[in-house]
Amino acid sequence: MSEMSTTIAARLEHVRRTIAEAAERAGRSTSGITLVAVSKTFDDDAVRAARDAGQVDFGESRAKALAARHDADPALGVRWHFVGRLQRNKVSLVAGTATLIHSVDSMRLAEAIATEARDHQRVQRVLVQVNAGEDPDKAGFSIDEAPTAIARIREIPGISVQGVMTIPALGADPRPAFVRLRTLRDELRESFPEIVHLSMGMSGDYELAVEEGATLVRLGTAIFGPRDG
């Protein structure tokens, strides 16, 4: 095993242990928590090292990168998530390739995804992005807008809303945003029981996210190390 493989395996073990400890503090089971390893800017060898250490779910934040990863090695045996901001003219690169699109931040994007999925006789699973931290620099529906938006998106053939996602404001305490998103999800489930997922928590705050109910955490540097650029 190479030094890189050993290092990534050790980081994954640490992350999994930390998630388990946070889940225990919250009285949760880890069976309901999926770790998404965000491989943005890291090479294919790093992805393979993480896969060999048991990692199944990977995330990319650039549409071309996700398509290239998938097309280069479709037999890699992993699930790809799209976790970045998706432009409508790049939807064809992601829909059908990503097992889950985390970042539907507008009705127009939802409609574009659904059209692409229908054209290929698919149903694309998505999360709706919510600006739970009320950060003017972040995309997504407001907490107040989200219920109506989700109700409308659910009615579009070719798309299936599985939950909600948020990115807290930079430098702010993330816990209030996580609590708001969990509260929103719980309220939505009363009418839409398929709204299950909470995608929240990254390398700097995933313990808090798990404590507050995250079902998907998106970690890059905690697994792969510092990024170049």
229 within some domain:
no
Question: Domain holding 64: CATH number?
Answer: 3.20.20.10
pLDDT at 1: 66
Q: How many domains does the chain have?
A: 1
Per-residue pLDDT of the chain (229 residues; tens, 9 = 90+): 688 899 999 999 999 999 999 999 999 999 999 999 999 888 889 999 999 999 999 999 999 999 998 887 766 778 999 999 999 999 999 999 999 999 999 999 999 999 999 999 999 999 999 999 988 889 999 999 999 999 999 999 999 999 999 999 988 999 999 999 999 999 999 999 999 999 999 999 999 999 999 999 999 999 999 876 5
SS in 3 state form for 39-76?
A: CCCCCHHHHHHHHHCCCCEEEECCHHHHHHHHHHCHHH
Coil/strand/helix, residue 116 = helix
10 within some domain:
yes
Q: How far apart are CA 93 and CA 64, in angstroms?
A: 7
**Closest by alpha carbon to 110, among 141, 79, 74?**
141
Q: Is 114 exposed, middle or buried (0-12, 13-18, 19+ CB in 10 A)?
A: buried
pLDDT at 29: 96
- What single DSSP character describes residue 168? P
> Domain limits at 88?
3-224
